[in-house]
Amino acid sequence: MLKGKKILLGVSGGIAVYKAVALTSKLTQAGAEVKVIMTDHAAEFVTPLTFQAISRNPVYTDTFDEKDPAKIAHIDLADWADLVVLAPATANLLGKLANGIADDMLTTTLLATEADIYVAPAMNVHMYQHPAVIQNMTALAAWGYRFIEPGDGYLACGYVGKGRLEEPEQIVRVLEKDNNRSNKWAGKKVLVTAGPTREPIDPVRYFTNYSSGKMGYALAQKAAEQGAEVYLVSGPTHLTVPPLVEHIPVTTAQEMFAEVTERFAEMDLVIKTAAVADYRPKAVLDQKMKKQKQEWSVEMERNVDILQYLGEHKQQQFLVGFAAETQDIKNYGKDKLERKHLDAIVLNDVSRRDIGFDSDQNEVIFMTKDGTEQAIKQASKLEIAEQVIGLIDDQIRKG
């Protein structure tokens, strides 16, 4: 699936450089033509000659070493690449890219390329969790850089945690999967709701819930990767909107209802993952409520059940709901599936800390109106989203 692809491999200076050698070999075996750019620090770990021998191409290390006087090397490489892979991507490299710094051959080429860029970070677990690194990765993701997350395990520094460069075989699988992704949903319109809602009490207080929006954003990303036109109606989150997804921010349940129903008629598929407040304060105060000695009661009124409304008014749309439960998951899910006239529902146990709200992992059951059940084992929310999108596609094709 990578046969004939021109892949530019950017290697920065970390102990995981030795894995980049194996990655070069795997990509070459898959039929890709690989050219390597190394930073000076990368060359401290492995010599350029090693990559040259494996890739059977010259290795680039110096912006001013023009191997062909008829070409400007970094521009030529930037134009040559079908895709770029940064492995390992150190914290230093991420910081440079996020701030537009071009002070060596690799960063200069990256600013000049229009190819898709895949980033495989590798660093100490505490570095990976540092706010500056997180901020840089968030900025790059917003610009369309695609991240191949590091794995958990023993690190060269002696720590055990997240920060290991993903294995070369897995990086190749990601590239092959993306290269082979179809546009089977081209022309389809998909609406995904995500995140929590906030119901104001006064100018400084509100009722909300623990939803992070991660599952909904992952589903929006995977739907877009199938070629669909995706609309993401999202409550307040700190997440980066996936590339090629139209973001419609909302705050309250009423705002979400308005945005969803305005677009519902033209949608082919609606996936409702948002944790929408069932109730809102009946009266919202104009001024901050001051602390008092007596107890304070807030009278609540029902919000519109958005999913129920969609189920009662759907025509051609395929409608998928989510049920975040803490007990008797299957029975509650089946009841919701039937009562709200859904085509499918995804059930998950939010009482489990390893897969509940704000976790990067999930484990779900996909249930359809014809009685089909498919358990999806614990995995990252992106992996879960990919499997859910596949199961939805199967159901749509069944008619």
Q: What φ, ψ does residue 98 adopt, rounded to 5°?
A: -70, -20
Distance CA 188, CA 159 (A): 46
Those residues whose C-beta lies under 8 Å from the C-beta of residue 215, and which sit 6 or more positions away, are 194, 273, 322, 362, 381, 384, 385
Strands 373-380 and 361-368: antiparallel
Q: Cα(6)–Cα(20) distance, rounded to whole angstroms?
A: 16
CA–CA gap between residue 398 and residue 21 (Å, rounded): 45
Contact 11, 42 (CB under 8 A): yes
Query: What is the spatial distance between Cα 336 and Cα 341, in angstroms, rounded to a whole number?
Result: 8
Catalytic residue selected from 142, 157, 186, 283: 157
- 126, amino acid identity: H
Q: Provide the residue count of the chain.
A: 399
Residue 362's closest CA among 216, 196, 174, 160?
216
CB 359 within 8 A of CB 395: no
Pick the closest to residue 88 from 173, 149, 27 (CA basis): 149
- Catalytic residue at 157? yes
Strand ranges inside the chain, DSSP E:
6-11, 33-38, 59-60, 83-89, 116-121, 146-147, 151-154, 160-164, 189-194, 199-202, 205-207, 229-234, 245-249, 269-272, 279-281, 300-302, 318-325, 344-349, 361-368, 373-380
Cis omega (within 30 of 0) for bond into 88: yes
Q: Please give the distance of CA 92 from its chain centroid, rounded to a whole number.
A: 23
Active-site residues: which are they? 157
